[in-house]
Amino acid sequence: MACLEVQGITKRFGGLVANHNISFAVRRGEILGLIGPNGAGKSTLFDVITGYYRPEAGEVRFDNHRLVGRRPDQVNRLGIGRTFQKLRPFNAMTVLENVMVAAMQHRADPLAARGEALRYLEFVELADKRDSFARDLSTGQRKRLELARAMATRPRLLLLDEVTGGVDQRTIPTLLQLIGRLREQGLTLVVIEHNMRVIMSISDRIVALHLGEVIADGPPSEVVKERRLIEAYLGDTFVVPSGGARASGDGLRGAGEGRA
């Protein structure tokens, strides 16, 4: 059953069409990978879903609520959490305070919010950094802080924008384990990710965007063979190596990296 339905979304910036008539559904409990080259419109779509941008056309439905026209905080209260590609922690606050601010959306009592924030920091393995300032964290640690902040708003659907972008390669397995554990807890996830090996391994289904349009939608093993996707990344000279998703995942990997 669909948890989120994106229906005919069009979002323009002046003459530039960042999202053009985008439609797809996210099923409850799945991990949906959202891929596409730089500028494909992925982050813009997250901004439309979560109320940061109002689209010129289309609707987004979440558990039968219409989302277009709602403010970000209202969308969040309905149960959609997100992280941002450009990290935005409160740098002058400690790690714990950052998560407490998010937890207080649901808990007015600071002590209760503190306890809850600590639990989420433990979950992302950042509890030992609770008293550090957010500005002193490494990129990988900040990504985990973002995750804890998003979780502290208690979402049922979580939108993750480039969780592994700019992160030390050695930290990636930890982040992927966290994503797996979130799903085990019953969350539905939409994950934007440039690392093809990562996205192919964690996604149940993949939606690919190019120039603001959906060019592929299906299981990873099918999507990776989609000619339009291969062309979008590498031009029409690229041939899918035999051996399926993994081999071509390696081939595609790196096409859009480096702008985290």
Instruction: Report the site for ligand ATP in 61-100 (rule: CB under 6 A).
Output: 85
Distance in Å from the first CA to the final CA of the chain: 33
Residue closest to Mg ion, measured at CB: 43
Binding-site partner at residue 13 among ligand ATP, Mg ion, none, CB < 5 to 8 Å by type: ligand ATP
**Which region, judged by CB under 6 A, interacts with ligand ATP, from 35-43, 54-62, 104-112, 226-234?**
35-43
CB of 182 to ligand ATP, least distance (A): 22
Cα–Cα distance, 61 to 1 (Å, whole number): 13
CB of 149 to ligand ATP, least distance (A): 20
Candidates 44, 76, 195, 248: give the one binding ligand ATP (CB under 6 A): 44
Torsion of CA 165, 221, 159, 130, to 10 degrees: -50
Asked if 232 and 37 count as a contact pair (C-beta separation under 8 A), the reply is yes
- 43 lines the binding site for Mg ion (CB under 5 A): yes
For residue 207, what are the β-bridge partners?
34, 217
- 85 lines the binding site for Mg ion (CB under 5 A): yes
Q: Read off φ and ψ for residue 101, nearest 5 degrees.
A: -55, -40
Cα–Cα distance, 125 to 113 (Å, whole number): 18
Binding-site partner at residue 44 among ligand ATP, Mg ion, none, CB < 5 to 8 Å by type: ligand ATP
| CA nearest to 151, candidates 184, 127, 174, 124 | 124
Candidates 33, 41, 155, 249: give the one binding ligand ATP (CB under 6 A): 41
**Residue 111 CB neighbour total at 10 angstroms:** 9
By CB under 5 A, the count of residues binding Mg ion is 3
Cα–Cα distance, 18 to 10 (Å, whole number): 8
- 16 lines the binding site for ligand ATP (CB under 6 A): yes
DSSP letter for 241, please: P
CB of 24 to Mg ion, least distance (A): 17
Give the CA distances from residue 247 to residues 58, 112, 165, 221, 258, in Å, rounded to whole numbers and listed in that order: 37, 48, 21, 11, 21
**Which region, judged by CB under 6 A, interacts with ligand ATP, from 1-9, 12-20, 87-95, 129-137?**
12-20
Candidates 20, 32, 36, 203: give the one binding ligand ATP (CB under 6 A): 36
**Which region, judged by CB under 6 A, interacts with ligand ATP, from 36-44, 103-111, 152-160, 177-185?**
36-44
Paired tokens of 132: 């550090």
Sign (positive/negative) of CA torsion 155, 40, 172, 31? positive
CB of 91 to ligand ATP, least distance (A): 22
Nearer to ligand ATP, 135 or 259 (CB): 259
Instruction: Report the site for ligand ATP in 169-198 (rule: CB under 6 A).
Output: none
* Residue numbers at the binding site for ligand ATP (CB under 6 A): 13, 16, 18, 36, 38-44, 85, 256, 259
